[in-house]
Amino acid sequence: MTSEKLAGLNLNSLRGFEVIDKIKFLLEEECPITVSCADILAMAARDAVELRGGPRWEVLLGRKDSLESSFEVFIDNFKQQDLDIEDLVTLLVIMYLNLAVLICPVEGRDNKFAPLDFQTTKRFDNHYFTNILKEGLVRAYASNEKLFFASFAKSMIKMGNINVLTGSEGEIRRNCRFVNA
């Protein structure tokens, strides 16, 4: 089974997992099998957005890590939830926080990534939407950062509550890269 990190479109595009691994390692040293990788990722996403000037939202803790992981499971979970096109547009900003993979190699550079927002590449804001002005919701987000922040936080909470595993439904992994043996 292919994990999210190794799936075709994500291959080598998702970064920062070494930080998650380090956090998990330190937590396991102090309090083994207590904090799940799912909770660490949820808090790290929230804190990364806030550190870049974005909104803060409440993260409910107590998730378990899944015993399986695939793109198909992700799509099925998304469809089964109360997530709509507004949530999808709002959550596209996650792409803004990462870097887009360029197809053509760039000589003289140490990587093949470019920011999606050229105005404020290191800040969480609504310029991503300003740059791709379209109709409706995208236009509303581009003209109203407060609306965008509120919608983003609401959508992140909804997405964070998709099929939360608790009790015996999952596990707390010792290492976020592997299911416990």
Q: How large is the angle between the packed helices 37-51 and 17-30, nearest 10 degrees?
A: 130
Residues 6 or more apart whose Cβ sits within 8 Å of residue 136: none
Report d(CA 51, CA 56) in Å as an integer. Answer: 9
Residue 166, annotated ligand binder? no
Residues 6 or more apart whose Cβ sits within 8 Å of residue 80: 163
Residue 76, annotated ligand binder? no
Tell which residue, 24, 9, 14, has the closest CA to residue 178.
24
Residue 39, annotated ligand binder? no
Residue 4, annotated ligand binder? yes
How many Cβ atoms from other residues are within 10 Å of residue 40's Cβ?
Answer: 21
Annotated binding site: 4, 117, 120, 125
Annotated binding site for Ca(2+): 4, 117, 120, 125
